[in-house]
């Protein structure tokens, strides 16, 4: 029999209120050891509040939040790497000194801290910036240093809030590779991002927050199934008919739409119908599941799902 997953993070019946405003309402989920877990939601949904409460910066109004079965305490800092949304490096200090300083705070000896820092800087193409002050680096370069500070002590739990922010596609891919490598070495990753393509590439399971509650929770396949399984993705020019019993429109943007076909209707029926429309030209007709990006947009702009 397959072994039951072991929780790394457990959040049970969590609620928190600031004054009269209830930010999180009865939130429960687990992050299993060794997985990459996507913690998603629009700005203001409650993601950062949940993470800060998990790390002991806020006290919950109700419920419990634990790491390895324990409420977080500073003694656990060597096991946790947290990349916050608000970056916290000393901008007037040299890159190498900054990385070594933070590594030593996590219990790494100075010699080993220097070695790990230089290895990381070579990996991300910043070896020639080791003596530069952070303020002279670009935003993307500073972000790579910040991630290095977060993972240099090889934490068993990495909580990364928008880790690829300010990075170009090449460096974004590099950092995603580094995250994957840490996961392959046994680390658990809790990933907060607005980039749904990163979620689809990296994450085993996800939770989408909306208005302080869990709107969607499960594997990516389970989340997609909850939105009706497969859709017909269209790229087109012209007018897409809306008054038909053959399909309903799941998502619609200029020159793009996703259709859900009606019961007892086949995709061939829809293809033939669309081909017969004189004022419509279809350039792509593809049967697939909705993307996470489409689901995210529908959840927040379309009022959720059935």
> What ranges do the domains of the chain cover?
7-224, 230-288
Question: For residue 297, what are the CA distances in angstroms to 52, 268, 276, 277?
Answer: 26, 28, 31, 29
Which CATH architecture group holds 7-224? 3-Layer(aba) Sandwich (3.40)
For residue 226, the model assigns a pLDDT of 77
pLDDT at residue 16 greater than cutoff 80: yes
Phi-psi region of 258 (alpha: psi -120 to 50; beta: other; left: phi over 0): beta
- Residue 290 pLDDT class (50, 70, 90 cuts): confident
Judge contact between 150 and 187, C-beta under 8 A: no
- pLDDT tens figures, 183-224: 999 999 999 988 888 898 899 999 999 989 999 999 988 888
What 8-state DSSP symbol labels residue 70? B
For residue 197, the model assigns a pLDDT of 86
pLDDT at residue 117 greater than cutoff 60: yes
- pLDDT tens figures, 134-168: 999 998 899 999 999 999 999 999 999 988 888 88
How many degrees, rounded to 5, is the angle at CA 30 between CA 167 and CA 108?
Answer: 55
Using a CB cutoff of 8 Å and minimum separation of 24, what contacts does 218-221 make? 220/292
pTM: 0.83
Which are the contacts of 125, defined by CB distance < 8 A and separation ≥ 6?
171, 174
- Residue 56 pLDDT class (50, 70, 90 cuts): very high
How far apart, in whole angstroms, are the C-alpha atoms of residue 190 and residue 306? 28
How far apart, in whole angstroms, are the C-alpha atoms of residue 240 and residue 249? 10
- Residue 305 pLDDT class (50, 70, 90 cuts): very low
Q: What is the mean pLDDT of the chain?
A: 90
Name the residue among 155, 173, 156, 153 with its Cα closest to residue 164.
Answer: 173
How far apart, in whole angstroms, are the C-alpha atoms of residue 306 and residue 302? 11
- Residue 304 pLDDT class (50, 70, 90 cuts): very low
Tokens of 55: 């790390």
pLDDT at residue 298 greater than cutoff 80: no
Share of the chain above pLDDT 90, in %: 68
Which has more pLDDT, 290 or 134?
Answer: 134
């Amino acid at each position: 029999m397959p072994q039951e997953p072991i929780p790394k993070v457990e959040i049970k019946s969590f609620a928190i209120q600031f004054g009269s405003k209830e930010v999180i309402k009865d939130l429960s989920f687990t992050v299993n050891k060794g997985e990459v877990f996507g913690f998603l939601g629009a700005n203001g949904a409650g993601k950062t509040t949940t993470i800060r409460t998990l790390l002991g910066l806020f006290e919950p109004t109700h419920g419990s939040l634990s790491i390895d079965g324990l409420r977080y305490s500073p003694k656990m800092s060597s096991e946790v790497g947290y990349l916050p949304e608000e970056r916290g490096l000393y901008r007037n200090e040299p890159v190498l000194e900054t990385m070594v300083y933070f590594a030593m705070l996590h219990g790494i000896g100075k010699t080993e801290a220097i070695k790990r820092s230089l290895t990381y800087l070579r990996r991300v193409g910043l070896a020639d910036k080791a003596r530069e002050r952070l303020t002279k680096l670009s935003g993307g370069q500073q972000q790579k240093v910040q991630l290095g500070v977060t993972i240099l002590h090889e934490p068993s739990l990495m909580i990364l809030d928008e880790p690829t922010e300010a990075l170009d596609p090449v460096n974004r891919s590099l950092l995603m590779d580094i995250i994957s490598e840490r996961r392959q070495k046994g680390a658990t990753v809790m990933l907060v991002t607005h980039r749904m393509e990163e979620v689809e590439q990296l994450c085993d399971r996800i939770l989408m927050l909306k208005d302080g509650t869990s709107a969607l929770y499960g594997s990516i396949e389970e989340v997609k199934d909850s939105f009706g399984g497969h859709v017909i993705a269209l790229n087109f020019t012209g007018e897409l008919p809306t008054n038909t019993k053959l399909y309903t429109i799941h998502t619609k943007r200029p020159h793009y739409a996703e259709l859900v076909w009606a019961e007892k209707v086949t995709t061939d029926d829809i293809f033939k119908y669309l081909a017969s429309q004189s004022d419509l030209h279809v350039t792509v007709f593809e049967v697939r599941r909705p993307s996470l990006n489409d689901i995210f947009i529908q959840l927040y702009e379309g009022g959720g799902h059935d």
